[in-house]
């Protein structure tokens, strides 16, 4: 809710989520949980393509809305539904576009 009030987007431009933003949406605490899902092949993601070195934390992950929906559908027990940002989840699954999250292209 604080992110919404401050108009902070959890998505990258062009409709992609970051690992950190997605961790906030799922209420898992840190982006390491999301990157673990990616490493295990549970969540499809691609690198952003920046030249950040490992010393700077490495390149950012880009996670599409479709990949998030697939993850939820195929791995419903990988996260605690009680900790998920409920409004975000409803918007995501219902296909509703929030005014402060940026435009996502329909898939």
Question: pLDDT tens, 8-40?
Answer: 455 545 678 989 889 999 999 888 999 999 999
Measured CA angle at 65 (ends 55, 41), to 5 deg:
60
Determine the pLDDT at residue 95. 82
Question: pLDDT tens, 56-83?
Answer: 666 778 999 999 999 999 999 999 999 9
Residue (of 91, 48, 55) closest to 72 by Cα position: 91
**What pTM did the predictor assign?**
0.73
């Amino acid at each position: 809710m604080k992110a919404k009030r401050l108009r902070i987007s959890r998505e990258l431009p062009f409709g992609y989520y970051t690992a950190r933003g997605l961790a906030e949406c799922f209420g898992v605490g840190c982006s390491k949980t999301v990157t673990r899902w990616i490493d295990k092949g549970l969540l499809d993601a691609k690198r952003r393509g920046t030249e950040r070195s490992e010393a700077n934390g490495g390149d950012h992950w880009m996670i599409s809305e479709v990949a998030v929906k697939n993850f939820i559908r195929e791995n419903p027990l990988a996260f605690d539904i009680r900790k998920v940002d409920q409004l975000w989840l409803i918007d995501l699954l219902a296909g509703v576009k929030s005014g402060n999250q940026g435009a996502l292209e329909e898939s």
